[in-house]
Amino acid sequence: MSRAGLLRGRFRPDANAIRPPWALVDAQAFASACDACGRCGPACPEGIIAVDRIGRPQIDFAKGGCSFCGACADRCPTGALSRVEEGSPWSLVATIGAACLSLAGTDCRMCQDHCDPAAIRFRPLGRGRWLPTVEEADCTGCGACVAVCPVGAVSVVSRRNGDA
C-alpha cells in the first residue's frame, strides 16, 4: 500500500471493480499477485484501464470496450493478469436496464450497433417500443455497448451461471 493510500484511508480494494481480462478470478489471489505497478494501464490501446482506490487495475467501460488484445496481460510482471489462449478472458456479460430508451418508444439501438458479436437484439413490443435482449452465449462482455448508451442503461456484470 502506498503512503498516499494509507493517508486517504484506502485500505481495501473495491469489491465491485471489474479487473482486466485474464485477471486471476479469486479476488484474494489477484490482490496478492498484483503489486499495482501500473504497467497494464499504459499498455491498453483502448485506454480503458483505470486504477481502483488502492492503485490496482480496473476496467472503465465508460471509456470504451475491450478488444481482448492481451497487451495488459503481456505487460503484467506478477501473473495477476495471465493470458490464456483457450477459454474466455473473463466471465462478464452485458445487461440492459429499464432506463433503455427503446423501452419508452424512442428508437435508439446504439448498443446493438456497437456489438460486434451481434449479441444484442431488439424485439417489438408494440406502440413503437422495443425490448432489448442480450444473448449471453454470444456476448463476450467486451463493454463496447456501455459507453455508447446515451442514458447509461447498459452495464457489464458477472454471468449468472458463472460460465465463461
37 is in an annotated binding site: yes
40 is in an annotated binding site: yes
139 is in an annotated binding site: yes
34 is in an annotated binding site: yes
69 is in an annotated binding site: yes
Q: Virtual CA dihedral for 26, 29, 32, 36, nearest 10 degrees? A: -50
Residue 155 host element (H or E): strand 154-158
36-66 core/surface letters (b: 16 or more CB in 10 A; e: else): beebbbebbebebbebbebbbbbbbbeebbb
* CA–CA distance, 65 with 156 (Å, rounded to integer): 10
145 is in an annotated binding site: yes
142 is in an annotated binding site: yes
Cell 431488439 belongs to: 122
Residues contributing to the annotated binding site:
34, 37, 40, 44, 66, 69, 72, 76, 139, 142, 145, 149
Binding residues for [4Fe-4S] cluster: 34, 37, 40, 44, 66, 69, 72, 76, 139, 142, 145, 149
